[in-house]
Amino acid sequence: MKIAISACLLGEKVRFDKGHKRDEFVMDELSKYAEFISFCPEHFAFGSPRPSIKMVKDNENLKIISNKTGEDLTDTLLQSSQNDLEKVKTNNVVGIIFKSKSPTCGLISSKVYLENGFAEGKDDGMFASLCKKEFPLLPMEEEGRLQDSWLRENFIMQVFAYDSFERFKQSAKIKDLVLYHQHSKFMLQSKDETLYRELGRIVGNHEPKEFSDILSEYEYVFKTAISKKSSIGKTRNVLEHIAGFLKTFLDSDEKKILHEQIDDYANKIIPVIVPLSTLKLYATKYNVSYLLEQTFLNPYPKELALRSDIKSVK
């Protein structure tokens, strides 16, 4: 899968001072599973090194101004941003990771200044803003926010689910969609129960509709659902629900330990991987294929170890 990413996070020396901001998680972990498509609208427009720039509010418009000369560089940066936008578009990426706080790449973290030099809140950088308009359903995060284990886990699950749907839709038929929805059940419920039910209604389609229309409708709601953040409450419900499928196989001690683990997870005493591993063990032992096929049990490569972190839930 391809992920678009601010070039400086890849260690490319494209910053205004010819430096970089190599990101450890991106380079040492995520790089094993994704091909990166780099972008740097500032380097493309002005080269490196270059004078730094800032975002300035002019009435309701935001413009890009050189910190050194005061020159208005909005049009030049807009042009190079369009160029990188095209690159992102043609590469069919399944996510974007931006460098935080940059007037070009920041995602709601770019400082906005008034003409008089005072700071006035934060907004999206110019390129990030174009990406949000162009790809409203594409997973997007900043490297700064990805330091938070909960946001990281949610983003990675979203990216892998988005990628899985993109591959699925290439050759999907209606019966495949029924199965796809079935396998996604617990993952979707851990995100948004209402949207999960809405997706069930779309798959169950009782109106005379073309499959391509059903698939587009499903895609929109599916991608919206996976953009939602999980919570301890929602995940706990899913774990209890999975446990419900196993209750006829387990004796009272096994049930007691399993429910203790789910409680300990909900009380943030142990990470979610503990009850999940127990559920997976019983599902395997008793060959409950309905559970073993659930994306929720293996939403991304286990080596990322995101569910082993107690802080990956909120």
- Alpha-carbon distance of 277 to 77, in angstroms, equals 49
Q: Does 41 bind ligand SF4 (CB under 6 A)?
A: yes
* Minimum CB–partner distance for residue 105 and ligand SF4 (Å): 3
Work out whether strand 35-39 and strand 96-98 pair parallel, antiparallel, or are unpaired: unpaired
Please pick, from the candidates 3, 14, 26, 199, the single residue that binds ligand SF4 as defined by CB under 6 A: 14
Q: What share of the chain is helix, strand, coil (3-state, %, to 5)?
A: 55, 10, 35
Rounded to the nearest 5°, which phi and psi values hold at 22? -50, 130
Binding ligand SF4 (rule: CB under 6 A), the pick from 40, 55, 62, 202 is 40
How far, CA to CA in Å, does 63 sit from each of 23, 96, 125, 181, 215?
A: 28, 23, 10, 45, 40
Q: Please choose, out of 3-11, 189-197, 202-210, 244-252, the segment that lies near ligand SF4 by the rule CB under 6 A.
A: 3-11
CA nearest neighbour of 110 among 53, 150, 58, 68: 53
- Closer CB to ligand SF4, residue 86 or residue 115? 86
Rounded to the nearest whole angstrom, what is the least distance from the CB of residue 304 to ligand SF4 in the complex?
Answer: 24
45 part of the interface to ligand SF4, by CB under 6 A:
no
Rounded to the nearest 10°, the torsion over CA 79, 81, 85, 88 is 140
Among 105, 177, 258, 279, binds ligand SF4 (CB under 6 A): 105
Residues 278, 280, 282, CA angle at the centre, nearest 5°?
A: 70
Contact (Cβ atoms closer than 8 angstroms) between residue 228 and residue 191: yes
Please report how close the Cβ of residue 112 comes to ligand SF4 at its closest, in angstroms.
16
State in angstroms the smallest separation of the CB of 60 from ligand SF4: 24
- Location of structure tokens 């063990």: 281
Minimum CB distance to ligand SF4 smaller for 41 or for 95: 41
Smaller CB distance to ligand SF4: residue 104 or 189? 104
User: Smallest distance from the beta carbon of 62 to ligand SF4, in angstroms?
Assistant: 15
User: Is 42 near ligand SF4 (CB under 6 A)?
Assistant: yes
**Residue ranges in contact with ligand SF4 by CB under 6 A:** 6-8, 14-15, 40-43, 99, 102, 104-105
